[in-house]
Chains A and B, each alone.
Chain A
Amino acid sequence: MSQKNRLDGGLIDRSEAWSFRFDSQYYKGHKGDTLASALLANGVRLMGRSFKYHRPRGPMTAGSEEPNAIVELREGARKEPNTRATTIELYDGLRANSQNRWPSLTFDAMAVNDLLSNFFAAGFYYKTFMWPAAFWEKVYEPIIRRAAGLGSLSLQDDPDGYDKGFLHCDLLIIGGGPAGLAAALTAGESGARVILCDEDFLVGGRLNLETYAVGGMSGAAWAAETVARLQAMPNVRVMPRTTVIGAFDHGVYGAVERVSDHLAVPEDGKPRQILWRITSKRALLCAGATERPIVFENNDRPGIMQASAVRAYANRWATTPAKQVAIFTNNDDGHRTASDLVARGVEVVSVIDTRAEAPTSSDYDVVAGGVIDQTWGRLGLSQIEVKMPKGGIRRIKCGALGVSGGWNPNVHLTCHQGGRPVWNEALAAFVPSATLPPGMTVAGAANGVFSTHGALQSGADGAKAILADLGIKASAPALPEAEDTPVKITPFWHVKTAKRAWVDQQNDVTAKDIKLAHQENYVSVEHLKRYTTLGMATDQGKTSNIAGLAIMAEVAGKAIPQVGTTMFRPPYTPTAMGVFAGRAWGMEVRPTRLTPSHNWAKEQGAVFTEAGLWLRAQWYPKPGETHWRESCDREVMQTRKSVGICDVTSLGKIDVQGADAAGFLNKVYCNGMAKLPVGKVRYGLMLREDGIVMDDGTAARLAEDHFVVTTTTAKAVPVYRHLEFVRQCLYPDMDVQLISTTEAWAQFSVAGPKSRKLLEKIVDDGMDLSNEAFPFMACAEITICGGLRARLFRISFSGELAYEIAVPTRYGDALVRRLMQAGEEFDVVPYGLEALNVMRIEKGHVTGNELNGTTTALNLGMGRMVSKAKDSIGSKLSERPGLNEPDSLKLVGLKPVNPDHKVPAGAHLMTKGDKVTASNDQGYVTSACYSPNLGCHIALGFLKSGDTRIGETIRLVSPLTGVDHEVEVVSPHFFDPEGERLRA
């Protein structure tokens, strides 16, 4: 198809014609086109269907404020719904599809909604789908979701990469129009570090869209020359295709650079987009302004656009939506569009100006004091009906209508820290208030300075003021000559007789909806917004908010500033989720920590699981084992029979040194630590200040002034943070130093009746491991394997005669290989987390499942550990009556009455004969496993007054999983309750 609406000139590169596809049709366009401009050039005005009524829609704008022309860009995994055709940079082979229509864009069955519009007014959903309540989730919502909504997701993983980066500057300039360029020149030539961001791929803002001369050349040429000058300055970074999406605290701005969106596929190794965090000393907002519509009957037909967009398409993209164009305006700027179009050879059939004193022209017909009464054209504008000032109507055939209701400064970023714009009567627009984000100033049209000269001047002045503030001597580049036309506007918001007149075209909010909301007493602008959804679409109401406010003010009999305005929040334009994720995707979301024996365990074919950030061996399958339980049961039995080895490096280790080390530990553990002898280890319980258990572990005293404290894997970081809090904030004069040594030492548990014999083979001569010389809970710094320094602790999580041995991390791999080799004669076995868990449940040892942030020492059966003879964190609040009720939960063991039954964790406990209700709840199961030693499933759990209910048969229920059977309450110490094995 030929580009029938392509004009001469423009800023497009005609050296090649690119082919692209929209829906099933192929078209040609050029480098420099957007999808919207290329489609318009090909005579296509219809680009989408509206959200609610499925009305045919075409582009209303030529920029990122676009509410209507939103499409699905690309196909397959790269498909991106709700993408604005007005900002999609054309590339060869581009494919896009219209959305929210079925079966086709020109015939959409859901357009029946439009005929039913009387029923779909504001609040329709709230009022209609109220009853019955159960219908909402099952019936109404699925239907509404299918009928409404816009594009569809690919449901595939995004194949592209996203990056994050940090930038720093003296001055961040947001927007590269005349104000931004003048500011960048001023600051750049003064030597300041400048970043200039512009959302467009062609920097220059409206200089690229207008015909006014700047410094004797076209605005676009001046912009190109200036950008080239700026790019040559080493202290200036010009960033096209970069949208500043948010103004955050302390001069930090978020910006998204679309590195590859103008390509079919990103270049090798390049990300699709980059999220920049820009830390600036000052920022100058030069975001320009947006032309706003006038609301009238059927004002949403394809071909009805911002007047400024019509001239932007003509001037920059050499295209027109139609051969005959009319203009509807309330200000002089609408006439500029008319004269630009005439100059481009487009027929301007009429300029309808709401003002009786409208300027006249010899180039086109002007209807002064007229308004548009009605429009026609099912899939695109064909005719308008003008209500003449002296009565009567006139029908005019045209394919496009440019509408100018005046200009709104783009104040959005000034609101991101709570600033509320203020009303400017002369401009009939909101302008930035004095309450700006700290460090930000505003220049150019964004600050209500609309002429080119004014924008250049205010940009340069803004930069000078900032440089002076930063103590940088400002140079003063000569500013080019430019137009300085004053704003002449008589506010006119909407044609009052209109019945179906669109205010927010993206969310299909009409003037009637706003009046209805007012009738129903939604008087606050924030309520109006939520009730009608005005301004809540992806365009955040950039073109619609002001008309909505004006209509609301009118029906309320107030002035616009009395009604107020709603907030704008980040992001400025819709932003892909992927760029916020960056590289934090899949396994890259968090770091992965490997234990020192990881490579060795991999060689053994271990299956790994994530524990905290660590990958730990879960079990070590042997040939022929088909189920994890087989491996786990074997590892448990073999450890209890001979000796097993487990990497326990991931447990937190904190080195505590100093003259007051013992006194310090006495504060952070609820049990006594001060009198622990050198060479001994003690189990310790740490409480939170509110009396709940924080963590448990061991403290080993290696010297008078030196302890090594262990934590659980999960709590290593929070416990360390807590200890630093206690040290720095509560006891600042204690002589104590802390350092986390979790990753400095590789630590292995060596457990089982043969563990002593195994270790005797690797400790250096002279180390006596006999029970007398190195009893249960002993510790020592020793050497092994001929001089390697090591730490040996006789502690046991498994309930066996057991040791933990630590060596500097770099020897961890060698040590596990040596232990396995030396243990061969004792039938040594490596065991994983599953076997470790089974053995600790058999022994009744608690872990994170029991220390779950709701339990106290009393609940754990360790109430007497909380020393009353000293002050420690949490001791006082653990005395709270609520934590000491007579029927408090107590840790118990649970065994199924029928040995074939499981005792699943999470199941709840009920007294036999009670109804299964929350109020009858007696407790819950925390940890469960199959015990190969007992030959049945066992569990630990908390039961009300559990310590006095040993022997009772109770009911175990899990309504979610259908479990309901009987279990017997037993001691939590299932295995070797007297502890004879670990003292052997």
Chain B
Amino acid sequence: MIINHPLLGPRDSSEFVYLGDACLINRPDWQADDALEQFIEYGHTRDNPAGLHRELWYHEQGDRSWLVVTRNTVTHEITQVELARDVARAEGRSK
């Protein structure tokens, strides 16, 4: 597989380490009333789509950036690659 790194261009997937669903960016608020339930959901529940999947890849043999890769799990076609930091900011994460 080839991942088109937004800064470094097309790279072989062997340079990367896979983590999983990009929903891991949405870490719950630890002070919410139902924080434990939210964390259980966050930690353990995943969708398993046949189709588009947003997932986290780490460029370990490269610039050490975390990427959000949108991949079709049926065809392995990759339609979008973003810096995870940009995605996290867009989703309202800060400090």
Indicate if the CB atoms of A250 and B1 lie closer than 8 Å. yes
State the total of A-B contacts with C-beta under 8 angstroms.
86
Indicate if the CB atoms of B93 and A731 lie closer than 8 Å. yes
Indicate if the CB atoms of B88 and A728 lie closer than 8 Å. yes
Given A438-B77, A732-B85, A876-B30 in contact, is the A725-B58 Cβ separation under 8 Å?
A: yes
Interface size on A, residues (CB 8 A): 30
* Chain B residues whose C-beta falls within 8 Å of the C-beta of A871 in the assembled complex: 30-31
* Chain A residues whose C-beta falls within 8 Å of the C-beta of B74 in the assembled complex: 418
Q: Does A734 touch B at the CB level, under 8 Å? A: yes
Indicate if the CB atoms of A876 and B39 lie closer than 8 Å. yes
Q: Does B76 touch A at the CB level, under 8 Å? A: yes
Indicate if the CB atoms of A728 and B35 lie closer than 8 Å. no
* Chain B residues whose C-beta falls within 8 Å of the C-beta of A433 in the assembled complex: none
* Chain B residues whose C-beta falls within 8 Å of the C-beta of A660 in the assembled complex: 95
The docked-state distance in angstroms from the alpha carbon of A877 to that of B66 is 24
Indicate if the CB atoms of B2 and A279 lie closer than 8 Å. yes
* Chain A residues whose C-beta falls within 8 Å of the C-beta of B17 in the assembled complex: 721
Distance to closest chain A CB from B33 (angstroms): 13
Q: Does A690 touch B at the CB level, under 8 Å? A: yes
Indicate if the CB atoms of B93 and A732 lie closer than 8 Å. yes
Residue of B nearest to A875 (CB): B30
* Chain B residues whose C-beta falls within 8 Å of the C-beta of A248 in the assembled complex: 1
* Chain B residues whose C-beta falls within 8 Å of the C-beta of A729 in the assembled complex: 24-25, 56, 66, 84-85, 87-88, 93
Q: Does B48 touch A at the CB level, under 8 Å? A: no
Q: Does B43 touch A at the CB level, under 8 Å? A: yes
Indicate if the CB atoms of B2 and A251 lie closer than 8 Å. yes
Distance to closest chain B CB from A895 (angstroms): 39
Indicate if the CB atoms of A417 and B95 lie closer than 8 Å. no
Q: Does B45 touch A at the CB level, under 8 Å? A: no
* Chain B residues whose C-beta falls within 8 Å of the C-beta of A880 in the assembled complex: 36, 40
Given A438-B75, A730-B93, A732-B94 in contact, is the A690-B56 Cβ separation under 8 Å?
A: no
Distance to closest chain A CB from B32 (angstroms): 10
Chain B, range 1-45, C-beta contacts under 8 Å to A: 1-2, 12, 17, 19, 24-25, 27-28, 30-31, 35-36, 39-40, 42-44
Indicate if the CB atoms of A731 and B94 lie closer than 8 Å. yes
Residue of A nearest to B35 (CB): A876
The docked-state distance in angstroms from the alpha carbon of A660 to that of B35 is 25
The docked-state distance in angstroms from the alpha carbon of A663 to that of B43 is 23
Residue-wise interface mask of A (660-704) relative to B, using a CB-CB cutoff of 8 A (1 in contact, 0 not): 100100000000000000000000000001100000000000000
Kindly identify which residue among B12, B64, B86, B88 contacts A730, using a CB–CB cutoff of 8 Å: B88
Residue-wise interface mask of A (424-458) relative to B, using a CB-CB cutoff of 8 A (1 in contact, 0 not): 00000000000000100000000000000000000
Indicate if the CB atoms of A249 and B76 lie closer than 8 Å. yes
The docked-state distance in angstroms from the alpha carbon of A122 to that of B88 is 58
* Chain A residues whose C-beta falls within 8 Å of the C-beta of B65 in the assembled complex: 728
Chain A, range 698-749, C-beta contacts under 8 Å to B: 717, 721, 724-725, 728-734
Q: Does A252 touch B at the CB level, under 8 Å? A: yes
Q: Does A879 touch B at the CB level, under 8 Å? A: yes
* Chain B residues whose C-beta falls within 8 Å of the C-beta of A721 in the assembled complex: 17, 58, 60
Chain B, range 43-95, C-beta contacts under 8 Å to A: 43-44, 56, 58, 60, 64-66, 74-78, 83-89, 93-95
* Chain A residues whose C-beta falls within 8 Å of the C-beta of B56 in the assembled complex: 725, 729
Indicate if the CB atoms of B36 and A417 lie closer than 8 Å. no
Classify the interface of chain B: helix, strand, loop or mixed: mixed
Kindly identify which residue among B1, B28, B84 contacts A249, using a CB–CB cutoff of 8 Å: B1
Distance to closest chain A CB from B20 (angstroms): 11
Indicate if the CB atoms of B36 and A876 lie closer than 8 Å. yes
Residue-wise interface mask of A (19-47) relative to B, using a CB-CB cutoff of 8 A (1 in contact, 0 not): 00000000000000000000000000000
* Chain A residues whose C-beta falls within 8 Å of the C-beta of B93 in the assembled complex: 729-733
Distance to closest chain A CB from B40 (angstroms): 7
* Chain A residues whose C-beta falls within 8 Å of the C-beta of B64 in the assembled complex: 724
Indicate if the CB atoms of A733 and B89 lie closer than 8 Å. yes
Indicate if the CB atoms of B39 and A417 lie closer than 8 Å. no
Residue of B nearest to A248 (CB): B1
* Chain A residues whose C-beta falls within 8 Å of the C-beta of B77 in the assembled complex: 438
The docked-state distance in angstroms from the alpha carbon of A407 to that of B28 is 61
Indicate if the CB atoms of A732 and B30 lie closer than 8 Å. no
Distance to closest chain B CB from A854 (angstroms): 16
* Chain B residues whose C-beta falls within 8 Å of the C-beta of A249 in the assembled complex: 1-2, 76
Kindly identify which residue among A717, A733, A875 contacts B94, using a CB–CB cutoff of 8 Å: A733
* Chain B residues whose C-beta falls within 8 Å of the C-beta of A733 in the assembled complex: 89, 93-95
The docked-state distance in angstroms from the alpha carbon of A724 to that of B2 is 22
The docked-state distance in angstroms from the alpha carbon of A877 to that of B86 is 27
The docked-state distance in angstroms from the alpha carbon of A248 to that of B88 is 32
The docked-state distance in angstroms from the alpha carbon of A638 to that of B25 is 51
* Chain A residues whose C-beta falls within 8 Å of the C-beta of B43 in the assembled complex: 689-690, 877
Distance to closest chain B CB from A956 (angstroms): 35
* Chain B residues whose C-beta falls within 8 Å of the C-beta of A879 in the assembled complex: 36
Distance to closest chain A CB from B94 (angstroms): 4
* Chain A residues whose C-beta falls within 8 Å of the C-beta of B31 in the assembled complex: 871
* Chain B residues whose C-beta falls within 8 Å of the C-beta of A689 in the assembled complex: 27, 39, 42-43
* Chain B residues whose C-beta falls within 8 Å of the C-beta of A725 in the assembled complex: 19, 24, 56, 58, 66
Indicate if the CB atoms of B40 and A877 lie closer than 8 Å. yes
The docked-state distance in angstroms from the alpha carbon of A980 to that of B32 is 44
* Chain A residues whose C-beta falls within 8 Å of the C-beta of B25 in the assembled complex: 729-730
Chain A, range 870-906, C-beta contacts under 8 Å to B: 871, 875-877, 879-880
* Chain B residues whose C-beta falls within 8 Å of the C-beta of A279 in the assembled complex: 2, 12
Indicate if the CB atoms of B1 and A730 lie closer than 8 Å. no
Indicate if the CB atoms of A877 and B39 lie closer than 8 Å. yes
The docked-state distance in angstroms from the alpha carbon of A692 to that of B9 is 37
Chain A, range 199-254, C-beta contacts under 8 Å to B: 248-252
The docked-state distance in angstroms from the alpha carbon of A248 to that of B14 is 13
Kindly identify which residue among A663, A690, A732, A875 contacts B89, using a CB–CB cutoff of 8 Å: A732
Distance to closest chain A CB from B48 (angstroms): 18
The docked-state distance in angstroms from the alpha carbon of A250 to that of B77 is 7
Kindly identify which residue among A418, A717, A734, A875 contacts B95, using a CB–CB cutoff of 8 Å: A734
The docked-state distance in angstroms from the alpha carbon of A753 to that of B7 is 54
Residue of B nearest to A877 (CB): B39
* Chain A residues whose C-beta falls within 8 Å of the C-beta of B86 in the assembled complex: 732
Distance to closest chain A CB from B76 (angstroms): 4
Residue of A nearest to B87 (CB): A729
Indicate if the CB atoms of B58 and A724 lie closer than 8 Å. yes
Residue of B nearest to A876 (CB): B39
Indicate if the CB atoms of A252 and B85 lie closer than 8 Å. no
Given A724-B64, A729-B56, A880-B36 in contact, is the A417-B75 Cβ separation under 8 Å?
A: yes
Residue of B nearest to A881 (CB): B36
Indicate if the CB atoms of A731 and B95 lie closer than 8 Å. yes
Residue of A nearest to B3 (CB): A250
Distance to closest chain B CB from A282 (angstroms): 14
Residue of B nearest to A873 (CB): B27
Distance to closest chain B CB from A667 (angstroms): 10
Distance to closest chain A CB from B88 (angstroms): 4
Chain A, range 725-783, C-beta contacts under 8 Å to B: 725, 728-734
* Chain A residues whose C-beta falls within 8 Å of the C-beta of B94 in the assembled complex: 731-733
Distance to closest chain A CB from B83 (angstroms): 8
The docked-state distance in angstroms from the alpha carbon of A22 to that of B19 is 54
* Chain A residues whose C-beta falls within 8 Å of the C-beta of B87 in the assembled complex: 729
Indicate if the CB atoms of B85 and A728 lie closer than 8 Å. yes
* Additional A-B contacts beyond A249-B76, A729-B87, A733-B94 (7; CB < 8 A): A251-B2, A690-B44, A721-B60, A732-B93, A733-B95, A876-B35, A877-B39
Q: Which 8 A-B pairs rank lowest in CB-CB distance, beginning with the nearest?
A: A871-B30, A733-B94, A250-B2, A876-B39, A249-B1, A249-B76, A732-B85, A732-B88
List B residues at the A interface (Cβ < 8 Å): 1-2, 12, 17, 19, 24-25, 27-28, 30-31, 35-36, 39-40, 42-44, 56, 58, 60, 64-66, 74-78, 83-89, 93-95
29 contacts between A and B (CB under 8 A): A248-B1, A249-B76, A250-B1, A252-B1, A418-B74, A690-B44, A717-B60, A721-B60, A724-B66, A725-B19, A725-B24, A725-B58, A728-B83, A729-B56, A729-B66, A729-B84, A729-B85, A729-B87, A730-B25, A731-B94, A732-B86, A732-B89, A732-B94, A734-B95, A876-B28, A876-B36, A877-B43, A879-B36, A880-B40
